[in-house]
Each structure stands twice: as C-alpha cells, then as structure tokens.
Amino acid sequence: MKQAAIQQEEVANTKEALKAGWARVAQRLKGELGDDLFNSWFARMDAEDFSRGQLTVSVPTRFLKSWIENHYASKLRKVTETEFKGLQAIIVRVRQQGEAARATQADGTRPAQAERSTVAAQQIQALLTADRESVDESQTFDNFVVGSSNQLAHAAVMRVAGAASGQTLSFNPLYIHSAAGLGKTHMLNALAQKIRIHQPARRVLMLTAERFMYGFIHAIRSKDTLAFKDQFHNVDVLLIDDFQFLQGKAMQQEFCHAFNSLVDTKRQVVIAADVPPTQLDTIDQRMRSRLQGGLVVDIETPDLAQRRHILDLRYMIMLKNDPSAVVPAEILDLVAERITGGGRELEGALNKLIAYQQFNKAPVTIDLASMVLRDAAGASETGRVKIEDILKVVSRHFNVGRNDLLSARRAREVVMPRQIGMYLAKKLTARSLPEIGRRFGGRDHSTVLHAVRKIDEQMKNDEKLARELALLIRLVEQQ
C-alpha cells in the first residue's frame, strides 16, 4: 500500500500528516542505515513543522545536531524529499531541554509552563531512581569474552566489582577508553549487575553523560538542583558511559562537583569514553588531570581467537531463540577472519548471514558467505580501511620503505611520511591512538597525537599538503 506523500498545502494544520510523513522517513532511514546507526542518530529526531518548503526537525542535543549535519545531511535530505513534496530546506533544531520529545502534545497544544516543570521533576526522579532500566541485562560477564585486547580493562572492572563497600581502591576513577563497539558499555552493564546481585547494599548508578546533562538541565528548570545533587550523595558506585558527550561549562562544573565529592569520600567512579582523557577537547584541564589521576586503560580490537569466541557466544544465543538459524563452524571461522572490527561489527555480519540464509531457505555456503561479507564491508559507513593499506600507499607515494616508516629513523624524508601515515590511520580507521602507535613501529600514543595535531595544523596553511592528503585518502580508500 503506497501512502500519498505530504503535499505542502495539506500540511498547514495537519499534525497528523506531519507525523505520518515523518514516521515513513524514519522507516526508510532505518532500512537504509540499519537499526544500530538509526538508533544512535535518528531515533530521537522529531519533525516539528513543514511549511513553505521548509521542514523543521528537532533533536535533544547540540552534539546530535552537529553530527547529523556533518555526516548525514545529504542522506537525510534524499530520504525526506520523497516524503515531503516541495521540500527545499531542512532545519535541524536543538530542542529546549525542558521540552518533551514531541514539541506538541497529542492534541496539538503545547504543555503549559507549570505543567512542564512538574514533568521535569518527575523526569529527574525517573532518571535517577529507575536507573535499573538503563542497565542492559543481556550484557553480563558470563557472555563477555576476555582476551589480550581487553584483559587489563576487564581485570580492573572485576576489582571494582569485588571491592567491599567503602573500601578504597588504589585507582579512582577507573577510566576505560576505546573505539566504538569494543565492549565498554557491555562491561559497565555487567559490572552494574554483578554488584547488584552480590552486594545489594552497595548502590550503583549507571548513566550516560547525555542522561546526566539531561537530568541536570531538568533540575535547573524545575528549580530543584538540590534533589539532583542529593541523588549522588547516596551512590556508592557511579558509572558514566559515553563521557565524551559531556558538554558545556555549567554541566562540567556540576559533574566535577559530583565527581569530587564521590572520589573524596572514597566512592568508586568508573568512566567510559571513546578517547583518552588527554583528548577530551571540550573538558577543562583540571578535570582532565583528575580523570588521569586514577587508572586509565584502553581496549583494543579483538584478535582472531577472541573474535571467533565472541561469534560463538552470539551464535549460541541466536540458536536458542531460533533453532533453525544454523551456521556451520567453518562459516563462523570465515566471519572471524574477515570481520576484523569489534563485537558490534561481528554481530552485524552474523545477523546478515542468518537473514540471508532464512531468506533463501538454504544453508549458507562458503562462497555465498564470502560474497555477503564482502558486501557488508563495502557498504559500511566508514569503509574498512586497514593500517596495512595506509602503510602501503604512503610508502609508495613518498618512495620510503615500509621498514623505514616503522623504524626509529628521524631523517626528515622519513618523519613527515610517517606522521602523515599516522594521521591517516587516525582519520580513516577506528583504531585508538595507542594501537596506531603500536602499528607504527611501537610508538607511544602521544607521538601519534602529536603527529595528528601537527598535520591538522599544517594543513590549514598549506594548500598543497591538503591536496596531497586528499589524494592519499582516495588512494587508501581504493585499496
């Protein structure tokens, strides 16, 4: 059944039509991007108004707005055009934090101010008391695969899980960082549950930085920041996920207060982020150094054995839900070999194979799997650039041996290409700085960071270098 696209005229007063049109856009986006990406970026986007060719949509944070504008503008436009006829422009607006997700209520009216603050107060309550809901119970230590890539992080988290209430650990905070999909959130979920089960008296609060900000802003609007602060006094273990999203001065100060009062009274804080503290550009220097004052550990991409093990676990779970989803062991071997990213990518590939198989009502053969995996890699948003390819391209382009790039040689004709290589690795792959350092001849992560900053800086004034880099990026992507 094909539904009519929204015509400009009909829109003037029909919130229904807007809602329906937006629902179809969301459906399409989900189809094109997959659930994960959709949920990360678009699940909280709402359409507010469509008039005179201009569609206004809103998102809850500045971060989401800028991410969507920088990475998804053309996709959003393409998908939206088909549903909103006469579309000329899309405006992405940041919702006032007091506003409900829908700018208008079901009956089309806006909530009154007074009503809004009660809503806000209730939301803080919901945020901080019903935090159980924010813990994903399917992610436990039982189904977390430990290997060389995450051994240290895992050991540290287990120490936190095993500590008695009030006992001082030698590290506080524990700060875990890695690229996306490598198991940070999984570990925090597992930790929260383990403590709840084994030490019910120890109070655990798990929040994302975004939820922290959201709660705080609600508290300000409803003039109830005391209640907000109070919540943290009762917490024994505070887990903050996606810390890199913490933004704004007031927000940081507030977090800093909560953080200091917890750490000073020997309560444990665990933080997960996608960069090390030194790279938290929006966080002020004092806070950064406090974050470094505990234990900072990174998680690397899993090795082959670990990837195979993660697939096994995933597969078992899938098989339990659907006994017809049979995938032969050699196919799992192939997936583990080909998909060299983290847990999320492995799951994606496995899902795809099973869907493929059920669609065709035939078991997957190696040839088919090979094809499906190749497509999966080609279609992925970031591409699958390998550090090896970067080394190859850089070495060829500058006529410098691969060994020289990895060596300790400091001759000018080697240093610059090496720095460009590290720069490309940072920009084109999801690898962490320490890992890039290791792959470039066992260098320190600060060396990589220095290279990245230096090239970024030089590019601003050196157009020739900028063009050269653009060329190198194309060459690497064509590998």
DSSP string, 45-103: -EEEEEETTEEEEEES-HHHHHHHHHHSHHHHHHHHHHHBTT--EEEEEEPPTTS-SSS
54 vs 143 by CB, closer to ligand ADP: 143
Does 276 contact ligand ADP by CB under 6 A?
A: no
Quote the CA–CA distance of 428 and 475 in Å, as a whole number: 12
Strand, helix or coil at 412? Answer: helix
- 170 φ, ψ (degrees, to nearest 5): -75, -15
Q: How many CB atoms lie under 10 A from the CB of residue 149?
A: 22
Compare residues 85 and 352 and give the one whose CB is closer to ligand ADP. 352
* Window of 23-31, 113-121, 289-297, 338-346 that interacts with ligand ADP by CB under 6 A: 338-346
**Minimum CB distance to Mg ion, residue 60 (Å):** 18
Q: Which stretch binds ligand ADP (CB under 6 A): 51-59, 182-190, 192-200, 368-376?
A: 182-190
Q: Which residue is nearest to ligand ADP (CB)?
A: 343
Taking the C-alpha atoms of residue 116 and residue 227, their distance in angstroms, rounded to an integer, is 17
CB of 297 to ligand ADP, least distance (A): 13
29 is a site residue for ligand ADP (CB under 6 A)? no
Q: Look up residue 295 and give its DSSP letter.
A: E
- Residue 210 in the binding site for ligand ADP (CB under 6 A): no
Q: What is the rounded distance in angstroms from the CA atom of residue 108 to the CA atom of residue 16? A: 9
Least distance (Å) between residue 405 CB and ligand ADP: 29
Residue with Cβ nearer Mg ion (299 or 448): 299
DSSP 137-192: TT--STT----TTTHHHHHHHHHHHHSPTTPPPS-SSEEEE-STTSSHHHHHHHHH
Site for ligand ADP contains 180 (CB under 6 A): yes
Indicate whether 347 belongs to the interface with ligand ADP (CB under 6 A). Answer: yes
Q: Taking the alpha carbons of 112, 117, 118, 122 in that order, is the dihedral positive or negative?
A: positive
Nearest distance in Å: CB 154, Mg ion: 16
Task: Report the residue number, 21 or 183, with the smaller CB distance to ligand ADP.
Answer: 183
Cα separation, 343 vs 361, in Å, equals 27
Distance CA 270, CA 334 (A): 36
**What is d(CA 476, CA 429) in angstroms, rounded to the nearest whole number?**
11
Give min distance, CB of 93 to ligand ADP, in A: 28
What torsion do the CA atoms of 285, 244, 298, 316 make, to the nearest 10 degrees? 170
Between 314 and 418, name the residue whose CB sits nearer to ligand ADP.
Answer: 314
34: Cα separation from own chain's centroid = 15
* Residues 233-272: x where in contact with ligand ADP by CB under 6 A, - otherwise, as a string: ----------------------------------------
Find the binder of ligand ADP among 22, 41, 50, 144 (CB under 6 A): 144
33 binds, among Mg ion, ligand ADP, none (CB under 5 to 8 A by kind): none
Q: Given the rule CB under 5 A, which residues bind Mg ion?
A: 184-185
Interface residues for ligand ADP in 284-323 (CB under 6 A)?
310, 313
| 129-143 per-residue burial string, b: 16 or more CB within 10 A, e: under 16 | eebeebbeeebebee
- Out of ligand ADP, Mg ion, none, what residue 173 binds, judged by CB under 5 to 8 A for its kind, is none
Choose which of 58, 123, 185, 208 interacts with ligand ADP (CB under 6 A): 185
Is residue 120 involved in binding ligand ADP (CB under 6 A)?
no
Secondary structure percentages of the chain, helix, strand, coil, to 5 = 60, 10, 30
Residue 343 binds ligand ADP, judged by CB under 6 A: yes
183 makes contact with ligand ADP (CB under 6 A): yes
Six token digits for residue 465 = 């270098």
Quick one: what does residue 342 bind among Mg ion, ligand ADP, none, with the CB cut-off 5 to 8 Å set by partner type?
ligand ADP
Q: Is 139 in the site for ligand ADP (CB under 6 A)?
A: yes
Residues 48-107 that bind ligand ADP (CB under 6 A): none
Q: What is the dihedral of CA 445, 451, 453, 455, to 10 degrees?
A: -160
SS3 assignment, position 273: strand
* Residue in the structure block whose two tokens are 């290791």: 438
Neighbours of 113 (CB within 10 A): 9
Does residue 182 bind ligand ADP (CB under 6 A)?
A: yes
C-beta of 21 vs 302, nearer to ligand ADP:
302
Give yes or no for residue 228 binding ligand ADP (CB under 6 A): no
Give 177 or 184: the residue with its C-beta nearer to Mg ion: 184
Q: Do the beta carbons of residue 274 and residue 179 sit within 8 Å?
A: yes
Of 120, 121, 145, 190, the one binding ligand ADP by CB under 6 A: 145
Q: How far is the CB of 145 from ligand ADP (least distance, A)?
A: 4
Measured from the CB atom, is 236 or 347 closer to ligand ADP?
A: 347
Nearer to ligand ADP, 82 or 148 (CB): 148
Residues at the contact surface with ligand ADP, assessed by CB under 6 A: 139, 143-145, 150, 178, 180-186, 310, 313, 342-344, 347
